[in-house]
Chains A and B, each alone.
Chain A
Amino acid sequence: MLYREAGQFKATYAEDSQIFPIRQDKIGFWVLMLVFGVAVPLLTNEYWLKAILIPVLIFSLAAIGLNILTGYAGQLSLGSAAFMAVGAFAAYNFILRIEGMPFLVALVLAGLTAAAVGILFGLPSLRIKGFYLAVATLAAQFFIVWALVKFPWFSNNSSSGVVTAQDVTILGYTFATPEAKYVLTFLIVSFMALLAKNMVRSSTGRAWMAVRDMDVAAQVIGFRLMRTKLLAFAVSSFYCGVAGALYAYTYIGTVEPEGFNLDLSFKILFMIIIGGVGSIMGSFLGAAFIVLLPIFLDNVVPVIFGDSLGAGFVSNFQLIVFGGLIIFFLIVEPHGLARLWQIAKEKLRLWPFPH
């Protein structure tokens, strides 16, 4: 009964085209922002911040990146982890090699580097579509990781290829504690999510979706396929690159190229499939789901089946559950959790009436 839009009239087109046109949604959004921006860092412990909340945010950002490319522009990619690697190693090198490089500038430059690499590997998309494009991005995945291992310059000649992220310092303040790192990540991810939302609800996003839904028609009404697709690759890779840099700097601290392998690319793809293809909110839901599910299973499976099964079973069980869920979502709800949420809202508006 509480979720009603009765009495909320839109008198201008500006009011009608807000991100949250319904007042209850707007209130809900700001409550969430306050909870995760203020209450969470004050109240939760280090484990939650370091092992759950920070990775959820970072993976959300990567998932937004992939969602822009795959969900909105319709170009299937299996190279997200590689673009994250580009971002992580670019940020490392910018901070290492340029004296006094501010962290935020390095972050943007890392994103731009990833965007440039993304455009390069996006070029085949002008000729090929669907699965064939996915194979081409697979090449990016293997080539980039290979190049980062092959040329020691990228990891500053570290013998193991592992690099340790420098301290994160902005305006003289060093983000050392998990709380500080969480807040920084939260602000960056929220801001970039807002930018992404704005892009997809304006002409840029419509161009992407037009190319996704019907490329000939998109061309006939004046969109340029090349420009639109490459912009999607660039923006997507920028997001993945920034996510990769944050992964190194605010999450795990030490990174190696092999950490950004195909498994991680698939993980991000699963996030958008489960969360919702073509939805910014779905990227967050999917990332949270994929990060939380293994932790949930780790805690629940031994309780149900006892200790007799051993650790090997638990980790295999995770894979089985993941596989099952992917198939379930592809068949039952291809638009993922975000769509389920939308359906729930529609039902709630009518509740307690069925129609």
Chain B
Amino acid sequence: MARQIGDVIVDLQNISLRFGGVKALTDISFNVKEHEIRSIIGPNGAGKSSMLNVINGVYHPQEGQIFFKGALRKKMEPHEAAEQGIARTFQNIALFKGMTVLDNIMTGRNLKMKCNFLQHALYWGAAQKEEIAHRIKVEEVIEFLEIQDIRKTPVGRLPYGLQKRVELARALAAEPHILLLDEPMAGMNVEEKQDMCRFILDVNDHYGTTIVLIEHDMGVVMDISDRVVVLDYGKKIGDGEPDEVKNNPDVIKAYLGTTH
């Protein structure tokens, strides 16, 4: 494989997150290395999505520290996470339903666009040039994900599998260092899953993007992940390479139960 797994890029230490009396995450530590595909798995309600929300600043944990590229991260808002190169997709598709595929993907590039609203209003010179320059970048992503034929379609009209792909495109348009994918393959049929796996591996290979993945399809997870972390009831019960995790008795217990 061309890519080389690098140093630790995100380091989470003793993260605890509570919503009132509900403990969503308890004392979780793990790290993500550059260029790797890191999966988070666990039964429903284990706190996987909360974990992603902590990484990109939607939730602020009550305890614990997050180091991002070696620097301690203070309370960070989602747009600041975006500025630092963290992009994500959502479990329930979070596209902008009233906009076309093209506009949705263009929003992914908003942080790289420098013109202000007055320049946009005149749409002359710099604003137009900028719009076209970013359109070229967006078209690259569209080509990469093979969605050329739907670029002018409003996303609300697209089938589920394609919407997931458009959401990935929007995240990719930001040229992120880290891509957080929340169940990118949920509800897909086999072919759609294969396509999505291929895109995820291609993104990882081609752009070197670090990927943090939540997924329920164990076949997929064990196949494409470099390392896997397992959560259950907000606690970490396993961490390591796929084979290691697969044979971890705690993980088997969480998924299959034990005989009493």
Residues in chain A within 8 A of chain B (CB atoms): 12-14, 17, 195-196, 198-199, 201-207, 209-210, 212-214, 216-224, 231, 235, 278
Contacts and interface: CB of A to CB of B under 8 A. Distances in A.
Contacts, number: 107
A204 B123 CA distance: 11
B195 interface: no
B110 A221 contact: yes
A235 B170 CA distance: 27
A33 B115 CA distance: 30
Nearest to B152: A16
Q: Which 4 pairs between the two chains have the least Cβ-Cβ distance? A: A222-B82, A217-B94, A213-B96, A198-B123
B115 A223 contact: no
Contacts of B217: none
Contacts of B174: 221-222
B99 A214 contact: no
A223 B110 contact: yes
A210 B96 contact: yes
Interface in B105-145: 106-108, 110-111, 113, 115, 117, 120-123, 127-128, 131-132, 135-136, 139
Contacts of A219: 58, 77-79
Interface of B, secondary structure class, is helix
Contacts of A221: 82, 87, 107-108, 110-111, 170-171, 174
A209 B98 contact: yes
B95 interface: yes
Contacts of B132: 12-14, 17
Interface residues of B, number: 40
Contact of B96 (A17, A198, A214, A224): A214
27 contacts: A12-B132, A14-B128, A14-B132, A17-B131, A17-B135, A195-B121, A198-B120, A198-B127, A201-B123, A202-B123, A209-B96, A209-B99, A209-B103, A210-B99, A213-B96, A214-B96, A216-B94, A217-B90, A217-B94, A217-B96, A219-B77, A220-B79, A220-B94, A221-B82, A221-B170, A224-B79, A231-B117
A222 B99 CA distance: 17
B56 A207 contact: no
Interface of B: 56, 58, 77-79, 81-83, 87-88, 90, 94-99, 103, 106-108, 110-111, 113, 115, 117, 120-123, 127-128, 131-132, 135-136, 139, 170-171, 174
A206 B111 CA distance: 12
